[in-house]
Structure 1
C-alpha cells in the first residue's frame, strides 16, 4: 500500500469506519501509521516486587494471602488493604473508599494487577491497583492502548494497524552511515515495534529512532531556511527614515543601551538586500515591544506594510493599543485582527489590507488564514515565538515576497536549544531592564504558612493595589492534590476576600469573557484575579503588586519567572510569593533560585541542570505540533546529535551527500511529517 492511500482501503476499515477514523484526523495510510499508542499495559511487567522502581506504574502477577481489617483515616476515608505475594515477597495493595473491592480478590487465587508502587516504612505498597486480565495469560502479554474518540474501540485500532503492518513495506529514508553511527534501527522496524513491542527494549529502540528521525528532518528544514536566507539577494532594501529620530524623541522614556543596540542591529538588517531573519530575546519587562514598533515604523515610512502576530487575543490587543498610541501622531493606520473580530469587520479589514489602506496589522493566528492578503507586506513580527511552530512561521512569512522577519521571545533559552529552535535566525539579546523598575521581593512558603501570604495580599489591596493568584489546573484533582482555580476561588472568597471584588480566569473561557475580565482588572474594578497560566505572557497591569503562585513546585522555573514578571511594572514595591509542597531538596533548591535571582537566563540554565528534563520552559511540541514524539528538552542529547548530523549533511561537498541532501529536502518539503517523508 502507498502512504498517501485513503484509509478506507486498509483491510478491515471500509467506508463506514473510515468516517469514524476521519473524525480522529486519520485520513490516509500514513496518518494511521503515525497514530501512536498512548500506553503499553504490561510493558513494566515484574515478577519480583523488590526490583520495582518507586512511584513506577507496574504490572505484577500475585496471589492473595489475606486481608486486613478496614480502617478509617483521620480525613474520614476508608482504607481497604489486601495482602499479596509475588512468589518471593509479600506486599500490600490498598484502596481508599472502595470497601467492596475485597470481594474481587479470592483467597489463594492469582491475579495480574496494574498500579503505582511505593515504599512506606520499609514495605512495598501497590496503590489503587486494577485487575488487568486473568493471570493464566502469558506474563509477557502487552496490551497496546491508543487514544480513542467517538465510537472507536481499542480492539478495532489494534486490528487494523496489525493488518496494515502486514501489507505495507516502509522504505528507509536515513543515510546508512548515520544509522550505523548511532546504532539506530531501521525505520520499518521502528514503526512496527512502536505499535507492537515485545518488550521495553523494543519500545525504547523504536522511540529513539523515530525521535532522531523527526529531529534530524526538522533540523534540515530549519538549516535550509537559513541557507536560503543567506543566499537570497531579492529582499527589500530599506532606507533610514528621517522621522526615526522624531519617533524616538516622542517616547515617554529613553531607550536603554541594550534596546538601542538591538534597534541598530535591526535597522542594519533592513538596509541589506538579504531578507532579515532575526530573533530578539529579552527578559520579562526588558522592552521588546518598543524595539518592534521602531522597526515597523521604518518599514511603513519606506512604503511597505508590517504585521505583528501574538499567541493570544489578550496580548494582541495589548500590542495593538501600544502600537496605536505610540504612532498616532505620525498618522500611521493600525488595525487589529483576532478570532473574536466580527465577521463583518474581518471582511472590511481584509479588504483594506489587500488595498494597502492599513499600514500595520496586529493579530493572532487569524493573520495566517488563507484569505488574508496584503498589498505589499514587507515585515512580519512573531511575538512569543516558542508558541508557534516553524510551519506557522513559514505560513506567516509567505504573506509577502522575501520579507524581513523578526521573532521575539521573553523565554530565556540556552544556546544549545537556540541552535535547534532558531538555527535559521540571527540572535539579538536585550540584556538590560529599563531604569526605575522595582526589584520584586520573592519568597517561598510551605502550604501550612499560606496565611501570611494572603495577609500580605489583603494589606496591599487596602493600599489600593491589585493581586494575581495563579494555580495550575482548572478543576480539582484529588489524585494529585493540586489546588484548582475553581476550588481556590471559592475558598479565598470566603476566607480572605469577602468584601473584595475578585474574578476567575482560565483557558476554557470564551475569548470575549476573558477580555471582559481582563478589562475590569486593568481598570482596577477587580482587585484579585485568580487564574491559570493564561496570564503568563505579556499582560501589563502596573497597579498589580502581588503575584501568588499556588503549587509552584509544579511549574518550571522559567515559567515561574515569566509569571513573576506580571508584577513590578509600576512605581510601587512588588512581591512574588511561591506556595509550594516542599517535600524534596530539589524543590527547595528550585525555590531558592527563584528567591535569590531575577536573571531569566541564569534561572533557565539552573533549572535545566537541576531537573535535566521535563517542561523546563513551559513548552512542548510548540505551535501546530510539528513534533509527534520528540521533545526538545527531554531529548536534548538526541537534539544535539540530530542537529550535528543535519549540519554536516547540509554543508558537505561530497557528491554522494549532495545527492542525498537534495532527495531528503525535496521529500521533507512535500511531506506533512518529519518521520515518514518517503
Structure 2
C-alpha cells in the first residue's frame, strides 16, 4: 500500500508513463500532488440561463438536452458530434470534434450543466467542447478545481488523480503551532488541503486558501529570518570608523545627499559586530557605483579586500575601469577576473588576489569558482541582484569568514514590499538623481509612423549621436502576433531605412566574446546604431547614445522598459525614448502612456506591480526567493505582515527551530527554500 511519500506512479490511475508527465509539473510523490493546488474553480452553483450567458467568456449554463444528431464526418476527416439543448429563454448548440462518447452520454429530456466559452447569436448560443456535469455531480461538488497542467496530461486526469490523492491527506504533518490555528481561527493542514481540492462551497475554498497562504508566508518569513540569523554571526572583518571626507574630496563633482547618506549607512554597518547585509537600491543613473566605491575605499583603508560581482563580462569591465579611476589614486589595486581572459592573465590575477595585492576584484561568475582564493576578503558586492540567486550570494560570502555583503539593484521595489521580501537585507535607497542628468523625453507611436521616426534617427546620427533599437525576439519562429524577429528586422527594416550607416546586431544567442566585441564597437563609436534584444538592459554606459527605440513595446513590463530607457541620457545631449506598438488593447496603451508621463522608477515599479502582478514584475527568478504556490506578494501584504510578526515571535523563543515540536516547521522551511537553493 503506497503512502504519502510514495512515487506518484503508484497512485491509482497514474503509472510510469503519466509519472513522467507529472514530473514536468514538479510532482514526483503523492505529497507533491496534494500540494499542487488548483489555480481557480469553475462554479456550477450559480449557472446562467442560455440567453443571460455572457459572450466569449468561460461560464456555466444549465439547460435540458432536446435532441442528439447523428455523428457526421466533415472536411479533413474529423468526426462532428452535435447536440441541441435549451431552456425557457433560448437554444444552445453543443459540438464536439472526434469525441463521440461525450455526446452519447447525454440523455434527451435530462438537465445538465455545460461549461465553456459561449459563442453564436442571441437566439441560438453555442459552446464547442463543453465540460458536462449532472445535477448529482454538482450537488456533491459545486466547485470544480482547475489545475495548471502540461502537454500530454489531460486536465480531467490530473483532476481525477488529485481527488484520489485525498485518500492520503490525513498523513500530512501540520507545521503550524496549534496556538496559531486557534488565534487566527484556521483549519488544520489536512482539512485545508482537502477543502482546496474539493471545497463544499466558495466559503470553504476561501478558508482553505487563507490558511495555506498564511502558512506559506509564515514559512517564507521564517526562512528569511533564519538566513539573516545565519548571517548574524560575529564578522570576520571588523573595521574602525573613518572619515569619508578624503574620498569625497577626490571626486570631480559633489555627491548627492542620497549618495552621502547611503555611504554613511554602509560604513556604519561595516564597523558593526555582525556582518553587513544591505541592499542598495536606486533608480537608473542614481549613482550606485559611486556609493560602492566609497565602501570599497573604506574597506581598503581598514586593510580588507573587496570583491564585486557583475552579471555580464562587459559590465564587469566597465565597473573595473570606472572604479580604477576612483580608487587607484589611493593605492587600491583593481583586478579584473572574467571567463574570457587568457590563461596567463588569469594566473596573474589569481596570484594578486591570493597574496592581497588586489585590493578590489571585479568579475563575473568566474569569481565564484574554487580556484579563486582571497587573502582577506572583507566586503562582497553583488551588482544587479536579480541576476544572482541567493545561492551565489552564499558562495561569495563563503570565500571568507562572514564578510560584509552589499547588494546593488536598479529595479526599484516599493519600500514596503522590499522590506518584506528582503527580510534578510537592510535597505538603503538612492532617491535623487545626480545633477546634470537631463530628463529623457518619451514618446509612444504606432508602426505607421516608423518611416518618419527613421528620418529623425538619420538626423540624430548626422549630428554625431548613436541609437539603440530593441526588438524582443530572436528567431523567426518566435514571431507570433506579428513580432519583428531581431535578425529579420536588422536586414529588412534597419539596414534599408538607414543606408550607409554602420549598424551592429546583438542578441542573446551570440557567444559572449562576440557580444562583447559588438558592444565595445558601439561604445567606441565605431557603430552608429545597435539593433539588439534586451541583452543591453543592464548598466552599460555609452554617453554618446541619445535615442532608445523599443519595438513591440507591449511585450515588456514597464519596469523593464524603464531600465532600457535608462541606457540613454548618460551624456550632455538631450535624449529620448520612442516606444512603438500596434497593440490596440486599452490596458496596454494606458501602460505605455503612463511611462511617457513619468520618469520616476519607483512610481513605474508601483504601477507595474499593481497592473501586472509580481510574476511579471520579478520575472522567473523572483529575486532568488523560493517560488510561492498560493500566496501573492502584492495581494497578500496584510497576511505577510502578520506572518512576519509571528515568525519573529517564534524565533525569539526558538532561534534555530531546534525544539522537537518545531521539526515539521523546520522541514517545511527546508523544503520551500530548496527550490531557491537559499538554505545552502
Q: CA deviation at 1:601?
A: 1.8
Which string of whole-angstrom CA distances, capped at 9 and with x for unpartnered residues, describes residues 591-620 of structure 1? 3332232222233334445x2735563435
Partner Cα distance (1:549, 1:447) in 2: 11
The 1:447–1:425 alpha-carbon spacing in structure 2 relative to 1, beyond 3 Å, is same
Q: CA deviation at 1:418?
A: 1.4
Partner Cα distance (1:41, 1:342) in 2: 58
Q: CA deviation at 1:2?
A: 11
The 1:594–1:400 alpha-carbon spacing in structure 2 relative to 1, beyond 3 Å, is same
Partner SS, residue 265 of structure 2: helix
Partner SS, residue 489 of structure 1: helix
Q: CA deviation at 1:322?
A: 2.2
**Aligned match for 1:219, one of 218, 221, 225:** 221
Structure-to-structure mapping, 1:307-456, within 5 angstroms: 307-338=307-338, 340=340, 353-369=353-369, 372-456=372-456
- Rg larger in structure: 2
Q: CA deviation at 1:292?
A: 0.3
RMSD (Å), alpha carbons: 5.2
**Does residue 560 of structure 1 match 2:556?**
no
The 1:643–1:600 alpha-carbon spacing in structure 2 relative to 1, beyond 3 Å, is same
**Does residue 173 of structure 1 match 2:175?**
yes
The 1:134–1:235 alpha-carbon spacing in structure 2 relative to 1, beyond 3 Å, is same
2:381–2:405 CA contact under 8 A, matched in 1: yes
**Does residue 645 of structure 1 match 2:646?**
no
Q: CA deviation at 1:653?
A: 9.4
The 1:389–1:105 alpha-carbon spacing in structure 2 relative to 1, beyond 3 Å, is same
The 1:91–1:156 alpha-carbon spacing in structure 2 relative to 1, beyond 3 Å, is closer
Residue 75 of structure 1 is matched in structure 2 by none
The 1:478–1:44 alpha-carbon spacing in structure 2 relative to 1, beyond 3 Å, is farther
Partner Cα distance (1:24, 1:346) in 2: 40
Residue 636 of structure 1 is matched in structure 2 by 634
1:604–1:616 CA contact under 8 A, matched in 2: no
Q: CA deviation at 1:82?
A: 12
Residue 517 of structure 2 is matched in structure 1 by 516
Partner SS, residue 561 of structure 2: helix
The 1:260–1:653 alpha-carbon spacing in structure 2 relative to 1, beyond 3 Å, is closer
Partner SS, residue 603 of structure 2: helix
Partner Cα distance (2:38, 2:576) in 1: 41
The 1:246–1:443 alpha-carbon spacing in structure 2 relative to 1, beyond 3 Å, is same
Which string of whole-angstrom CA distances, capped at 9 and with x for unpartnered residues, describes residues 381-422 of structure 1? 122224444444334323322321211222221122012122
Partner SS, residue 267 of structure 1: helix
Q: CA deviation at 1:442?
A: 1.4
Residue 571 of structure 1 is matched in structure 2 by 572
Partner SS, residue 443 of structure 2: strand
Residue 613 of structure 2 is matched in structure 1 by 613
Q: CA deviation at 1:565?
A: 0.6
The 1:48–1:537 alpha-carbon spacing in structure 2 relative to 1, beyond 3 Å, is farther
The 1:540–1:147 alpha-carbon spacing in structure 2 relative to 1, beyond 3 Å, is farther
Q: CA deviation at 1:266?
A: 1.8
Which string of whole-angstrom CA distances, capped at 9 and with x for unpartnered residues, describes residues 195-218 of structure 1? 889999988776665544332212
Which string of whole-angstrom CA distances, capped at 9 and with x for unpartnered residues, describes residues 514-553 of structure 1? 2222222212223222333332221211111111122323
2:465–2:544 CA contact under 8 A, matched in 1: yes
Structure-to-structure mapping, 1:665-676, within 5 angstroms: 666-667=666-667, 670-671=670-671, 673=673
- What stretches of structure 1 of length at least 5 have no aligned partner? 71-80, 95-100
1:535–1:563 CA contact under 8 A, matched in 2: yes
Q: CA deviation at 1:109?
A: 8.9
Partner Cα distance (2:510, 2:180) in 1: 48
Q: CA deviation at 1:568?
A: 0.4
Partner Cα distance (2:665, 2:230) in 1: 13
1:190–1:209 CA contact under 8 A, matched in 2: yes
Q: CA deviation at 1:575?
A: 0.6
Partner Cα distance (2:509, 2:41) in 1: 31
The 1:142–1:238 alpha-carbon spacing in structure 2 relative to 1, beyond 3 Å, is closer
Partner Cα distance (2:13, 2:590) in 1: 54
Q: Please, which moves more after superposition, 507-516 or 428-437?
A: 507-516
Partner SS, residue 548 of structure 2: strand
Residue 77 of structure 2 is matched in structure 1 by none
Partner Cα distance (1:516, 1:428) in 2: 35
Partner Cα distance (1:264, 1:122) in 2: 73
1:373–1:399 CA contact under 8 A, matched in 2: yes
Q: CA deviation at 1:288?
A: 0.4
The 1:457–1:265 alpha-carbon spacing in structure 2 relative to 1, beyond 3 Å, is same
Partner Cα distance (1:284, 1:204) in 2: 41
Residue 502 of structure 1 is matched in structure 2 by 503
Report the TM-score when normalising by structure 1: 0.76
Partner Cα distance (1:604, 1:364) in 2: 27
Q: Please, which moves more after superposition, 399-408 or 561-570?
A: 399-408
Partner SS, residue 617 of structure 2: coil
Partner Cα distance (2:399, 2:512) in 1: 26
Q: Matched residue pairs, number?
A: 647
Residue 541 of structure 2 is matched in structure 1 by 540
Partner SS, residue 529 of structure 1: strand
Partner SS, residue 547 of structure 2: strand
Q: CA deviation at 1:295?
A: 0.8
Partner Cα distance (1:337, 1:19) in 2: 44
Q: CA deviation at 1:504?
A: 3.3
The 1:638–1:499 alpha-carbon spacing in structure 2 relative to 1, beyond 3 Å, is same
Q: Please, which moves more after superposition, 308-317 or 461-470?
A: 308-317
Partner SS, residue 274 of structure 1: coil
Which string of whole-angstrom CA distances, capped at 9 and with x for unpartnered residues, describes residues 424-471 of structure 1? 333222222222222211122234333333322222122221212223
Q: Please, which moves more after superposition, 422-431 or 116-125?
A: 116-125
Partner Cα distance (2:359, 2:551) in 1: 43
Q: CA deviation at 1:641?
A: 0.8
1:307–1:379 CA contact under 8 A, matched in 2: yes
Partner Cα distance (2:532, 2:629) in 1: 30
Structure-to-structure mapping, 1:185-224, within 5 angstroms: 186-188=188-190, 209-224=211-226
Partner Cα distance (1:346, 1:191) in 2: 54
Report the TM-score when normalising by structure 2: 0.76
Q: Please, which moves more after superposition, 160-169 or 372-381?
A: 160-169
